[in-house]
Structure 1
Amino acid sequence: MAALFAAARIAVRRRALAEVPPELRHPALYLSLSISNSVALAIGRRLTPSSGSTIRPDVEVEQRRVPSAATYPAVTVLTYQSSTRPKGSGVLLWIHGGGTIMGAARHSHGLCSRIAEELDVLVVNVEYRLAPENPYPAPLDDCYHALRWVYDNATGLGVDPARIAVGGQSAGGGLAATVVQRAHDTAVPVRFQLLVYPMLDDRTVLRDEPRDRKALMWTPASNRFAWTAYLGKPPQQQDKRPYVAAARRADLTGLPPAWIGVGDIDLFHAEDVAYARRLRDAGVACELHVEPGMYHAADELLDGKAPSMTAFRNTMLRALSSALTKP
């Protein structure tokens, strides 16, 4: 019986990998891993690289503390800027991924320093609190207060308060989308939202998915565990808490323009495409980029090693550059 079960799992894995272009077949794909309990989470956190990605030589990185406000604790942020950044530049608030349960700001060193150098903008990378130790609304509050700090201190930071973008990947993309919604409702101007395969809808865990699809890197089991950790309870069809998941917002009118990028074999593909459609239906300009054969976070694994992933990131940065360089 065990042999039959193992054979069945291997067959399912092979069918899933058959959809992946050869250039995107990273060794990590052959490990069928999920974060589905506290033990797996502890292991996943330990396996996450401690040193972070490489900072570009011409980029200065500074750790800063966003002062606490009322009952909220201070928030740590990392700022990135090149020696050539002009005063009054645009600024990107970046939110790292990890399902809201893993990851750290330093793991985005490479991307954030690249954006700072190539776009000549300030990048502010948020070290938000993680679930399940700090469930909703703690991560959202941290990211929102970092945004509020950027806006309120624009002059001191040398940025244009009319050219603020908010972006993130995976869970960070989902937090970015909800931060943008909250900013809209509290009159904090955001020019652009950069949503990289964002985690937008907790109700995805309530829907059946074919077992041989959309389970690469970030699996349905990981998704269920992460959303439960973030929400403080298992997802349900109804959840009236504000900004708990970006896709739950009924009225998207008036939100800033967006770029959404996702692979067509990513677990988040359907929810991301649906959100892009709803933004457009609400009159919000939204560029949707669906990458064939791309699984979750393939660009992190293979940027610079696979032409399609290099192109994916270049497309993302062009959209951000266009948004932040307009007068």
Structure 2
Amino acid sequence: MTAQRPHPPFDPELAALYGASLTDTPFAMTADMLPFARTPDLSDEEIDEALRARGLERRDFTISGYRGDEIVVSTISRPGHTGSAACFYTIHGGGMIVGSRLDNLASFDEWMFVHDAVMVTVEYRLAPEHPDPFPVEDCYAGLEWTAANADLLGIDPARIVIVGTSAGGGLAAGTALLARDRQGPALHAQILMCPMLDDRDRTVSAEQIDGVGVWDRQANNFGWSSLLGDRRGGDDVSVYAAPARATDLSGLPQTYIDCGSAEVFRDEAVAYASGLWAAGINAELHVWAGGFHAFPVLVPNAAVSRAATAALASFTARILTV
């Protein structure tokens, strides 16, 4: 039996502030855990109160998702917003199996709303109840609705930036590929934070982050199996579900990708950036030493987290001022 590859060290400050051992075997993710894992931390009323305290408001819209079924998108902007602002179309994380469109809103403050932008966030349907292609098709439906309702939302359809974290990063990449291939809404940029891109479980980083870290190999394979079922790792998986499978990345928008050096998604994120460069796309890649999965959200005050947030803010400022 081959010994497990050693994992890169975790940043000491991240590990200390996270307050949990990153080297103990994480609990095995199972389907019976999903109802508890899907319980929101805050009520809608608490979220709205927090938004008001930051000078923001939420509006909900019911739209047609995949196959015409109803889904919800929310907009977050300053009260009374008008004009033609940049739009950040955001897709939440959660391994394709958990999460909500209203997750982690506080993490967007410094680099998004400083531009008086409008956030649109989509409640895509989750696996395994809604397997592929429901999640990515819901996300694409939300993007089409956003572009078609630019005047209503007070956004500039030429400055839509698609943003996703973790599973949301994979769905953002898949949605961008759909938009390209269907001649859909033109995206100004895509921001893929620690993106979940590859179902095939073949990377060195997947082997290294196995029984360690925040989101490990077992959890990742559970998420992909929930989305794809028996197709996971096989030949019958589309590039829109698993964008790492795409061999043609031409025609995609300028891209920001980041990840930690000590997370399962490291190698697929680096490979995706390399594929974009090979296709002549302007892509910026950051691999943060010692970072575990989603560290800027989980430990926002650590030095490496502040550096990651500042780098993203710099990219955002540059693409919106050109």
TM-score range, shorter chain: 0.7 to 0.9
Q: Which residue number in structure 2 is paired with residue 325 of structure 1?
A: 321
C-alpha displacement at 1:219, in angstroms? Answer: 0.7
Amino acid at match of 2:141: H
Q: State the one-letter code of the partner of 1:180.
A: A
Say if 2:104 and 2:297, in contact at 8 Å, map to a contact too.
no
The residue that corresponds to 2:181 in the other structure is: 185
Q: Which amino acid aligns with 2:285?
A: L
Of 293-302 and 33-42, more deviation after overlay is shown by 33-42
Name the structure 2 match of 1:24: 14
Distance 1:143 1:70 in 2: 9
Within a 5 Å distance, the mapping from 1:282-301 to structure 2 comes to 282-301=279-298
Shift of 1:238: 1.4
Task: Using the aligned pairs only, state the percent identity.
Answer: 33
Counterpart of 2:30 in structure 1 is 37
Aligned partners of 2:159 and 2:187 also within 8 Å? yes
Unpaired segments of 5 or more residues in structure 2? Answer: none
**Corresponding residue number in structure 1 for 2:57:** 60
Residue 160 (1) aligns with residue 156 (2): yes
Partner-residue secondary structure (3-state), 2:104:
helix
In 1, Cα distance between the equivalents of 2:210 and 2:124? 31
Aligned to 1:235: 232
Contact 2:61–2:74 (Cα < 8 Å) also in 1:
yes
Shift of 1:64: 1.6
Paired with 2:110 and 2:62, the residues of 1 have a C-alpha distance of 23
Q: Structure 1: where are the runs of 5+ without partners?
A: 1-11
The answer to whether the Cα contact below 8 Å between 1:174 and 1:199 also exists between their aligned partners in 2 is yes
Shift of 1:234: 4.8
| Secondary structure class of the residue paired with 2:38 | helix
Question: Alpha-carbon deviations, 1:12-52, whole Å to 9, x = none?
Answer: 9xx75x81222101123446324532123344334x62448
**What are the residue-to-residue correspondences of 1:127-206 with 2, within 5 Å?**
127-187=123-183, 188-204=185-201
Whole-angstrom CA distance in 2 between matches of 1:69 and 1:162:
23
1:85-134 per-residue CA deviation (whole Å, 9 max, x = no partner) reads 56111101000000010111121321345555312110001111110011
Deviation at 1:236, TM superposition (A): 2.2
Distance 1:212 1:128 in 2: 28
Measured in 1, the distance between the counterparts of 2:41 and 2:65 equals 32
1:259 aligns with 2:256: yes
Answer yes or no: is 1:220 the counterpart of 2:220: no
CA shift digits 1:49-108 (9 cap, x unpaired): 244874352111112212x26832122112111248561111010000000101111213
**DSSP 3-state at the match of 2:68:** coil
User: What's 1:273 paired with?
Assistant: 270
Matched-pair contact (CA < 8 Å) for 2:163–2:191? yes
User: Which structure's relative contact order is higher, taking Cα pairs within 8 Å and 6+ residues apart?
Assistant: 2
Q: Deviations over 1:267-314 (max 9, x none)?
A: 0000000000010000000000110000001111111x2122022112
Mapped contact 1:204–1:271 kept (Cα < 8 A) = no
Matched positions, count: 309
Q: Secondary structure at the match of 1:107?
A: coil
1 CA distance for matches of 2:276 and 2:56?
35
Which deviates more from structure 2 when the two are superposed, residues 83-92 or residues 248-257? 83-92
Please, which of 312, 319, 322 is the counterpart of residue 316 of structure 1? 312
- CA distance in 2: counterparts of 1:179 and 1:316, whole angstroms: 21
**Residue matched to 1:4:** none
C-alpha distance in 2, partners of 1:140/1:96? 12
- Maintained 8 Å contact 1:167/1:193: yes
Range with greater deviation from structure 2 (82-91 or 143-152): 82-91
Greater mean alpha carbon deviation, residues 219-228 or residues 233-242? 233-242
Contact 2:132–2:241 (CA<8 Å) still a contact in 1?
yes
Equivalent position SS for 2:26: coil
For the Cα contact (< 8 Å) 2:190–2:253, is it kept in 1?
Answer: yes
CA drift of 1:243 comes to 1.2
Distance in 1 separating the partners of 2:118 and 2:245: 31
